Amino acid sequence: MKAGSIGLLAAAAAASAVVATAALGIQQPAGAPESAEKPTPWRAQGQLVCLAEEMRARFGAPVAPVHDHLWGLKVEDSGPAEADGAAKAGAGKAAVYVSLLRTPLAEGLFADERFRKHTLILEGRAFPGTRIAEVTRIVWLRDGKAFEVFYWCEVCAIRTASPGPCACCQGAVELRETAVPLPR
């Protein structure tokens, strides 16, 4: 094989990797180092709160009366995490606050105030050495029952995680819930 052919093959392989990465929705910042630490499965139950307001109320943090909300999950600490990484509210101990990444799957938590009225069970990934989580599933509790929450476009019959316009028709989507077994 000629040297020019090897260069073309390498370029084609690199382009294929970029296309495959984009198709899977994986976004690596340019030059980001590969970490030996990996995110771990995470699940927690608690209330969606403005972390700035919680820090002002608990510790007197100087938060301006008008501020951007920094949403996170307030989890009543149940002691050491269980083997599956689960944390549950209601143990009566000090609260733990988890910052939530604002991703397309979590957008409803940030944009739709109805999530703040329910106890939530969030699942996703926790990042090592932090109290930051990426949410991949949202369940809320109502009347002792669990409901998976999502947005639905009636016109296109598309289920989505984002409260914005439908990705297909640009029409309005509506919040829906489906009863599910209580996550363990």
Contact indicator for 112, 175 with CB cutoff of 8 Å: yes
Q: Mark the ranges of the chain whose per-residue pLDDT is less than 50.
A: 1-26, 79-91
Q: Provide the pLDDT for residue 6.
A: 43
Q: Provide the pLDDT for residue 15.
A: 42
pTM score of the predicted model: 0.72
Q: Provide the pLDDT for residue 182.
A: 87
Q: Provide the pLDDT for residue 183.
A: 77
Q: CA 181, CA 16: separation in Å to the nearest integer?
A: 41
Q: CA 119, CA 95: separation in Å to the nearest integer?
A: 14
Q: CA 142, CA 64: separation in Å to the nearest integer?
A: 33
Q: Provide the pLDDT for residue 35.
A: 67
Q: Provide the pLDDT for residue 184.
A: 74
